[in-house]
């Protein structure tokens, strides 16, 4: 099976042309786990299959490293757009890509005939608790207390097509995320598990973030997480609507357009290498 290793701000996935590589659905979770292993496989935060679509220009079929299916991936969708443009599967810089029924509109920036970054219309943030989903007594969860492993935190919950809990902290770099993150991910208040962003506000236009992603653990970046972070910042009056989010793998620019009520995400997309692997048992 041929594949391409790509990343957006260090959030790395293995990309496979699903129109060429015909993998049975029932075999994909185990294949994803094998390929994602950083010691015995290719290594990555998961695997993304790029498929034909009747709803959009292409479909993104995204899996986390543990083999579970993900609904949306902001860094991943930028890389999908780069993949199809660079490999001449399209000659358009404007693309519609669907993932789990959600269509996102993407504008590529190119240099010397290759895509280098993308601006994605990520849509309107979902704040209704039952649709995120998060168990709550109120319709929205904004600056609400949650106790995880005996310690109380304050969280704001947002869905960007996948669920997020944003937690503001005083210190990000030294945060023991590997011990805190799993408690959030599998907390009883999150029926579909949760992605958790730990955020330090620098000023009205800059924040620093680390993320624990469900099914993958800590990743160097999370595009949908950055969107959720800026949503939470605005709702808590901590930043303006245009914010640079500093993640471990780089910077992602997020703008929550007030008039359109949609979030735009801009960031890089990078090809690391091409490869081929034997997928037979």
Give the active site residues.
73, 222
Q: CA–CA separation, 196 vs 219, rounded Å?
A: 11
For residue 150, what are its two tokens? 């005996």
In whole angstroms, what is the distance from residue 39 CA to residue 68 CA?
20
Q: In this structure, what token pair is assigned to residue 81?
A: 């757009």
Residue 135, CA distances (Å) to 125, 142, 210, 211 in order? 18, 13, 24, 21
- Which of 157, 152, 205 shows the shortest CA–CA distance to 180? 152
**How many alpha carbons lie under 13 Å from residue 118 in its C-beta half-sphere?**
35
Distance of CA 200 to the CA centre of its chain: 19
Query: CA-CA distance, 253 to 266, in Å (whole number)?
Result: 5
């Amino acid at each position: 099976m041929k594949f391409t290793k790509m990343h957006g701000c260090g959030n790395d996935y293995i990309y496979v042309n699903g129109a060429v590589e015909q993998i049975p659905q029932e075999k994909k979770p185990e294949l994803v786990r094998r390929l994602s292993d950083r010691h015995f496989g290719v290594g990555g935060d998961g695997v993304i299959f790029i498929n034909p679509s009747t709803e959009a220009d292409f479909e993104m079929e995204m899996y986390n490293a543990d083999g579970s299916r993900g609904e949306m991936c902001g860094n991943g969708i930028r890389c999908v757009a780069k993949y199809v443009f660079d490999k001449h599967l399209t000659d358009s810089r404007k693309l519609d890509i669907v993932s789990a029924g959600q269509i996102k509109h993407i504008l590529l920036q190119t240099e010397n005939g290759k895509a280098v970054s993308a601006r994605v219309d990520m849509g309107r943030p979902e704040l209704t608790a039952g649709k995120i989903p998060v168990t709550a007594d109120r319709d929205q969860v904004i600056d609400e207390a949650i106790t995880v492993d005996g310690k109380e935190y304050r969280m704001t919950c947002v869905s960007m097509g996948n669920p997020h809990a944003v937690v503001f902290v005083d210190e990000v770099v030294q945060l023991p995320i590997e011990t805190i993150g799993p408690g959030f991910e599998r907390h009883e208040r999150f029926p579909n598990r949760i992605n958790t962003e730990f955020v330090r506000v620098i000023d009205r236009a800059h924040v620093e973030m680390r993320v624990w992603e469900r099914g993958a653990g800590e990743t160097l970046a999370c595009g949908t997480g950055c969107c959720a972070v800026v949503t939470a910042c605005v709702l808590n009056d901590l930043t303006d609507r245009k914010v640079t989010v500093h993640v471990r793998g780089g910077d992602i620019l997020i703008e929550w357009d007030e008039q359109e009520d949609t979030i735009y995400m801009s960031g890089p997309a990078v090809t690391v290498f091409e490869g081929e692997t034997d997928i037979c048992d």
